Amino acid sequence: GAVVSQHPSWVICKSGTSVKIECRSLDFQATTMFWYRQFPKQSLMLMATSNEGSKATYEQGVEKDKFLINHASLTLSTLTVTSAHPEDSSFYICSARVPGLAGGPGDTQYFGPGTRLTVL
């Protein structure tokens, strides 16, 4: 299957600092990437949909000024948590859709390994 990487896998930062998380599609070009947040023992919560070369579409309740998403190339999307606070501590997961014809593997999302963010 397609491979999606995420970096860093784990980050600890002080309150008030900004943290950038990178998501890369390694063996395919992803026109669309998705960012999720997951709390312990819960399902994935969609934060935003990121399209290459355009502004991200944020879900209701997600602060776009706090969670900056940039999808500058077909293989890279970044999530920057600005002025992080302890309540932003969570597990962040990116996902990329393999492009292709309808009904083919292009309708499947592959996930990165996730980034555990701890804000002190």
Partner 1 sequence: AQTVTQSQPEMSVQEAETVTLSCTYDTSESDYYLFWYKQPPSRQMILVIRQEAYKQQNATENRFSVNFQKAAKSFSLKISDSQLGDAAMYFCAYRSAWSGNTPLVFGKGTRLSVIA
- Is the separation of the CB atoms in 4 and 97 below 8 Å? no
Whether the bond into 86 is cis, omega within 30 of 0 = no
Q: How many angstroms separate the CA atoms of 110 and 26, rounded?
A: 11
- Name the token pair of 23: 């998501």
Name residues whose C-beta falls within 8 Å of residue 14's C-beta, 6 or more positions apart in sequence: 119, 120
- Under rule CB under 8 A, residue 107 binds partner 1: yes
- Under rule CB under 8 A, residue 5 binds partner 1: no
Residue appearing with tokens 């309808």: 102
Restricting to residues 36-95, name those near partner 1 by CB under 8 A: 38, 42-44, 46, 49, 51, 57, 91, 93, 95
Report how many residues bind partner 1 under the rule CB under 8 A.
27
Beta carbon of residue 109, minimum distance to partner 1 (angstroms, whole number): 6
Amino acid at 120: L
Task: Please choose, out of 11-19, 65-73, 82-90, 105-113, the segment that lies near partner 1 by the rule CB under 8 A.
Answer: 105-113
List of residues contacting partner 1 (CB under 8 A): 1, 31-32, 34, 38, 42-44, 46, 49, 51, 57, 91, 93, 95, 97, 99, 102-103, 106-111, 113-114
